[in-house]
Structure 1
Amino acid sequence: MAEQTALPESTGTPGAISAGPPGPAAEDRPHKPDAAVVRDALGVGIAVGLSGFAFGVTSAGSGLSLLQTCVLSLLVFTGASQFALVGALAAGGNPYTAAAGAFFLGIRNAFYGLRLSQLLALPRAVRPFAAHWVIDETTAVTLPQPTRRAARIGFTVTGLTLYVLWNLTTLVGALGAEALGDTDAWGLDAASPAVFLALLAPMLRSTTERVTAGLAVVLALTLLPVLPAGVPVLLSALAAPVVLFLMGRTKRGPGDGKGSNGTVTQRKKGERHS
């Protein structure tokens, strides 16, 4: 962590990283003090980590044991997927369907990892452990940092704070679920998804991203009453290829292919007459 390496700029080549919108050269960017990075990371880690209490309560209320609840937070450690799993099980969904829905919801972390692996450039021996902390919150704190040192500090502090607090509050929530009575009446299962949406919303900058997210929500809500629990989450992923297909057709235009063929045909006819 000793170096003050600037994050690479986008070069326009495949696999290049964009550290942010076009601006001054990396060496001209204002330095961000370590204390400011730690403060931001602690703010996110503490705020989101406390919502592990909601997961503990929801999981215990869904019928999972204390051990199962705590193991989920220790090993899975991605809030939205955990809530999706216990929510599907509580609704009577098939365990395999519930697990598949949670898996596909959490697979976004793999794409985060592709970006963060180049930004952080961690030693190989550390990467398997760091991969466990690649989630929405650590990504949100890491990406805006101006230097590799700041990115590493932000990632480490956010991940450590969130992991410790999430697991502690999961334990407390699972132990206190019985004292709360009917957990459904508290609506605590909405806490983590609300945090996830709050982090996601600012990232939807283009029209394509907003339309895709909106269509995914419509699909999930439409299919929720008619399909088993967990399945609507899987099918809502179809929003991405549908939007990309429609956007591609819009850019090409309905007459592009015909116009091109017609031009070639007319040219051939002209050659015959000549």
Structure 2
Amino acid sequence: MRSLRRTIQKSVVRQGLAVAVATSAYGISFGALSVASGLDVWQTCVLSLVMFTGGSQFAFVGVIAAGGLAAAPAAIASAGLLGVRNAAYAMRMSPVIGPGRVRRSLATPFTIDESVAVSLAQSTAAARRTGFWVTGIAIWIGWNVTTLAGALLGDVLGDPRAWGLDAAAAAAFLALLWPRLRGRQPLAVAVGAAAVAGLLTPWVMPGIPVIAAAGVAVALGWFDPRPRTTPDDDEKGMP
């Protein structure tokens, strides 16, 4: 059993690091776009250090690029709307992280799309904890390093989209999501959430489509006929 657990843990670490590499590449795109929008290198780096949620950061610099510093209130509002999803992630990850104010405070900055996805893709409580911490910390380090690189090399790189860097994080997230789309319930959630987000995107401000898609997932989740399980239940059932 110990050998099996070590094998599972190593697999989780590899998954987390692989996602971190793909997501960190996306940081180059953010650094370059942020400087192009009018922020300097230090402002760009502080955004990644403190805000550290890719969607919110891109929304912020996108609004700044369109309206200048005068659009800062709208930029903050857009970033805040996208950041609301992290609060939902925190509630879902609470049993995985475990009790204790210190532990939960330390987990707060690392509660992002990728760390939650890697964690919830695992089948045992220990693997979920490992997936969360490895992915979150690795991405935080990589994201900040590549943000600095992108900010410094923005003029040399040109348009980051020409390199496909704007799709790196989305591709990594899709790779994590795809194996979980088994059965009617996950497919219904994925299709419904994607449809709502796609329909709203051209018409509403950034952040609202993400929240609406999450609402669809929550609504459909109430009708899930499968029995509820907890991380402890999963671990007890492990051979």
Shorter-chain TM-score tier: 0.7 to 0.9
Unmatched segments (≥5 aa) in structure 2: 221-239
* Match in the other structure for 1:210: 191
Q: Distance in 1 between matches of 2:103 and 2:216?
A: 38
Q: Distance in 2 between matches of 1:238 and 1:153?
A: 27
| Equivalent residue for 2:162, pick from 151, 175, 186 | 186
Identity, % of aligned pairs? 40
Unmatched segments (≥5 aa) in structure 1: 5-29, 224-230, 248-274
- The answer to whether the 8 Å contact 2:97/2:103 transfers is no
- Runs of 4 or more, structure 1, over 6 Å off, are 241-244
* Match in the other structure for 1:254: none
TM-score scaled by structure 1? 0.66
| Equivalent residue for 2:103, pick from 119, 126, 137 | 126
Q: Distance in 1 between matches of 2:49 and 2:113?
A: 17
CA deviations on 1:70-113 (whole Å, 9 max, x unpaired) are 00100111111111111121122722112111111121111111
| Equivalent residue for 1:50, pick from 5, 25, 35 | 25
Alignment: residue pair count: 209
- 1:82 equivalenced with 2:82 (yes/no): no
Q: Which has the higher Rg, Structure 1 or Structure 2?
A: 1
CA deviations on 1:26-71 (whole Å, 9 max, x unpaired) are xxxx745321221111111122122211111111111111111000
Between stretches 184-193 and 128-137, larger displacement belongs to 184-193
| Equivalent residue for 2:118, pick from 116, 121, 141 | 141
| Equivalent residue for 1:156, pick from 133, 144, 151 | 133
**Cα offset, 1:175, TM superposition:** 0.4
- The answer to whether the 8 Å contact 2:27/2:147 transfers is yes
* Match in the other structure for 1:97: 74
- The answer to whether the 8 Å contact 1:58/1:189 transfers is no
Q: Distance in 2 between matches of 1:86 and 1:64?
A: 8
